[in-house]
Amino acid sequence: MPNKSRIYLDYAATTPLDPAVLKIMNEAGERYYANPSSLHYPGQESKVAIEKARQVIAESIQAKAREIVFTGSGTESNNLALIGVTRVNRFKGNHIITTRIEHVSVLECCEYLKNKRFRITYLNVNKLGQVDPEELKSSIDSDTILVSVMMANNETGCLLPIKEIGAILSEQKVLFHVDAVQAFGKIDISVQDLKVDLLTLSAHKIYGPKGIAALYIGNDVSVERILHGGAQERNRRPGTENITGIIGFSEAVTQINEKKDEHNRILNLRNYFEHELKQRIPDILINGVEGPRLYSHSNIYFPFIPGDAMLMNLDIQGIAVSVGSACSSGSQRPSHVLTAMGFEPERINRSVRFSFGRFTSREETEQALDRISEIYQSRLKGIKYV
Ligand code: PLP
């Protein structure tokens, strides 16, 4: 859990480990030391523990256990989905459709595939971060083999119309990959209802450990492996399994199921934060607020203060937030997400992401509001913090 003297409002970048997850991982680390590929008893015990965890994760998205492949990160799952599927289907066609607001692990795969003679269509989004399903329909041609669309955006929390897209694609017989890293654990997901062929999950966004993730690969979907080695994960992802991580991931999923009532609490906190901030600083604007959004994210434009200066001032005051996504922050590149949403450069460069989670308290939110207002007012009066 975060140090109480600091206020952590960066849950979209990563979440602290839930103490229950840590406890289970400590026990698992001691007990399941043997290699699950070993034929002896301790090895088989490790294997059984992994399979139990796989079942828990599969059930949470209404999939079958054999459809879950463990990987080392959401990034790796996205790579396996995009590169693995296009390698198998390259003789059927060379066209991929995605959106302009995907995580960098999808966008960079697309750039890689572009260099391998694939054609990429990037769907536009509107000011609410929404793609137009009609634009998707008209982008599909006889060469389209894969569509990859995220379920919720990491910078704004905007939710994309996955069900509608799934219905279009299943009719057109085009494979559908969904990056659900931000949405998983916050909204119920059924791969059956959504008609999804591949779906990316990552443990560290749901109070689980870092370095463990999964890719759902529907039973009838073929994916060529992108790493070469042993036959683990039914030949789809080699390497000795991260048993402790897998068990921690499964416990994080169990905790999510048991703590469903936290959703409303976090939603109320986030809404209280936005409402109060607007009262204190009427100049702010909330990016994507009018559309469907995750309950955890708040992407806010502060006129007059560059986002990175705001981030540093907040950090000095003990509040951890992000500008853009965790991977691109530090690079000083303007957010590709807010750019795609059509905001002007001033708004893009002066926006900050606050994200709330399981351990955020009302008291911390109130303290954060006080400190943010203080920084803003001081800045307006020309008192430089940085
Ligand atoms: N996709 C989205 C939407 C994300 O937010 C992230 C992480 O921030 C990833 C993929 C990558 O996941 P990981 O950090 O497990 O590589």
* 181 CA → ligand 1 middle, Å: 6
Q: What is the pTM of this model?
A: 0.96
Please tell me if the CB atom of residue 175 comes closer than 6 angstroms to any atom of ligand 1. Answer: no
H or E segment to which residue 69 belongs: strand 68-71
The yes-or-no answer on residue 110 being catalytic is no
Note whether 11 and 38 are same-domain residues: no
Nearest-CA residue for atom 5 of ligand 1: 154
Note whether 272 and 324 are same-domain residues: yes
96-134 burial code (b ≥16 CB/10 A, e <16): bbbbbbbbbbbbbbbeebeeeebebbbbebeebbbbeee
Note whether 250 and 268 are same-domain residues: no
* 342 CA → ligand 1 middle, Å: 23
Please tell me if the CB atom of residue 195 comes closer than 6 angstroms to any atom of ligand 1. Answer: no
- Would you give the distance in Å from CA 138 to the centre of its chain? 27
Please tell me if the CB atom of residue 73 comes closer than 6 angstroms to any atom of ligand 1. Answer: yes
Q: What is the pLDDT along the chain (386 residues), one digit of tens a residue?
A: 555 489 999 999 999 999 999 999 999 999 999 999 999 999 999 999 999 999 999 999 999 999 999 999 999 999 999 999 999 999 999 999 999 999 999 999 999 999 999 999 999 999 999 999 999 999 999 999 999 999 999 999 999 999 999 999 999 999 999 999 999 999 999 999 999 999 999 999 999 999 999 999 999 999 999 999 999 999 999 999 999 999 999 999 999 999 999 999 999 999 999 999 999 999 999 999 999 999 999 999 999 899 999 999 999 999 999 997 544 445 568 999 999 999 999 999 999 999 999 999 999 999 999 999 999 998 888 755 55
As a dihedral over the C-alpha atoms of residue 78, residue 80, residue 81, residue 82, rounded to 10 degrees, the angle is: 80
Contact between 11 and 206 under an 8 Å Cβ cutoff? The reply is no
Round to whole Å and give the CA distance between 105 and 338: 18
What are the residue ranges of helices labelled H in 231-361?
Answer: 232-235, 243-258, 262-280, 307-316, 336-340, 345-349
Which amino acid is located at 323 in the chain?
A: V
Q: Is residue 385 part of a domain?
A: no
Q: Residue 329: its pLDDT value, please?
A: 47
The residues with which 149 forms a beta bridge, in sequence order, are 178
* 168 CA → ligand 1 middle, Å: 26
Name which of 357, 293, 93, 58 is nearest 199 in CA terms: 58
Name which of 226, 188, 232 is nearest 68 in CA terms: 232
Task: Supply the CATH number for residue 344's domain.
Answer: 3.90.1150.10
Note whether 192 and 314 are same-domain residues: no
Give the contacts of 305 (CB within 8 A, at least 6 positions apart): 313, 350, 375, 376, 379
CA-to-CA dists, residue 126 to 2, 60, 153, 323, angstroms:
36, 31, 13, 20
Please tell me if the CB atom of residue 291 comes closer than 6 angstroms to any atom of ligand 1. Answer: no
Query: Best mutation site among 70, 105, 215 for ligand 1, i.e. most ligand atoms within 8 A of its Cβ?
Result: 105
As a dihedral over the C-alpha atoms of residue 41, residue 45, residue 47, residue 50, rounded to 10 degrees, the angle is: -170
Which atom of ligand 1 lies at the shortest distance from residue 105's CA? Answer: 10
Which atom of ligand 1 lies at the shortest distance from residue 154's CA? Answer: 5
Q: Rounded to a whole number, what is the distance in angstroms from the first to the last CA of the chain?
A: 29
Tally the domains of the chain. Answer: 2
Please tell me if the CB atom of residue 15 comes closer than 6 angstroms to any atom of ligand 1. Answer: no
Q: Is residue 157 part of a domain?
A: yes
**Structural domain boundaries, residue 266:** 7-16+260-380
Please tell me if the CB atom of residue 77 comes closer than 6 angstroms to any atom of ligand 1. Answer: no
* 45 CA → ligand 1 middle, Å: 31
Name which of 163, 109, 112, 159 is nearest 297 in CA terms: 159
Note whether 201 and 277 are same-domain residues: no
